[in-house]
Amino acid sequence: MNRRDGLVNHLTESELWQLASQYPFFLRRSQRVQQMGQKRNAQSRMGRDFHGYAPYRSGEDVRHVDWPVFARTGSLFVRRYEDESFGRIMLVVDASGSMGVDGGSKWLWSRQLASVLGFAALQAGHQVIIAVCHRQQVLFSRPFHGQDCAADLFTYLAATRPAGSVDLSQAVDAIRSRNAYGRVVFFSDFMTEIKVDTRLAWLTGLAERCCLVRLLKPNELIVEHDQISDPESARRHIFSAGGRQVFQSRLAAFEQAFHDAVARLGLPLVDLQVGDDFHVACNSVMAEFGVGKTRHQAV
């Protein structure tokens, strides 16, 4: 059930799960994590432990479809095995104070999008790790694997309230220090650094693996008041005469630097405006991991 609360859609866990199940989810081979010494041979799965059936999603190898089941049920199902190689996706969610401005709509979107993406990954049998950046810390969840971890994943994200300042480069350093972190998706407004000339420099070398999901409020990059406060601290500032215009120009330069950096690094970016249709936004994000349309559309 969808509810509209201002501009933000509050979706329940089951609604998000259903939404996730609509999207095919693939990880490129390079993003898969495999057990040491295991050969990736489709044939070699014979004789392995049968884990269960999963609905066939478009794009999957049709050789995995269990045709007798299709004959009995009329639905496509693929067989899953325990030792099947799986991918790993790491969802880095920015929970800084700036994500909580204006009623926390950016945070809600960010968390719901991460949930959908995570659920989709779980449904595809991949391992999901959530990294919440909060008050200068990066809090890594345990690796979620299997559909029964969905509730834990959702709860993990829902338990956080955006506050404090965040340095995403810290999160990247932490991620780098872990081996085999798979695909990395950043959900943030990317208002986390000050220097314009080195924007997103910390993502250098991660371009192949990462994806940026930027969430901004409508008109967020326009300063309308003479007084602004820091959402990440209790500080306030009153612009002196002409100060706002100067600040506005700085902000524009800052925005331009972001896009320049994305282009320079070749980073996949999903730029979203909070307040638009959430499903559209969801499609945009999931397009990065599937065929770009829902199963309904595929069907």
Contacts with another protein in 44-103 (CB under 8 A)?
A: 97-99, 101-102
Binding mask 241-280 for another protein (x = CB under 8 A): ------x--xx--x--------------------------
Rg of the chain over all Cα atoms, to the nearest angstrom: 21
DSSP state at residue 178: S
**Residue appearing with tokens 């800052």:** 254
SS3 82: coil
When the beta carbons of 139 and 251 are compared against another protein, the nearer one is: 251
When the beta carbons of 66 and 102 are compared against another protein, the nearer one is: 102
In sequence order, what are the residues at sequence separation of 6 or more whose Cβ sits closer than 8 angstroms to the Cβ of residue 108?
A: 8, 10
58-63 long-range CB contacts below 8 Å, 24 or more apart? 58/24, 58/291, 58/295, 58/298, 58/299, 59/24, 59/26, 59/290, 59/291, 60/24
Task: Work out how close the CB of 27 gets to another protein at its nearest, in angstroms, rounded to a whole number.
Answer: 31
Asked if 290 interacts with another protein (CB under 8 A), we say: no
Give the interface size with another protein as a residue count (CB under 8 A).
Answer: 32
Asked if 296 interacts with another protein (CB under 8 A), we say: no
Asked if 229 interacts with another protein (CB under 8 A), we say: yes
When the beta carbons of 176 and 237 are compared against another protein, the nearer one is: 237
Contacts with another protein in 127-166 (CB under 8 A)?
A: 165
CA distances from 265 to 36, 189, 206 (A): 31, 18, 9
> Residues interacting with another protein, by CB under 8 A?
97-99, 101-102, 165, 189, 191-194, 220-221, 223-225, 227-238, 247, 250-251, 254
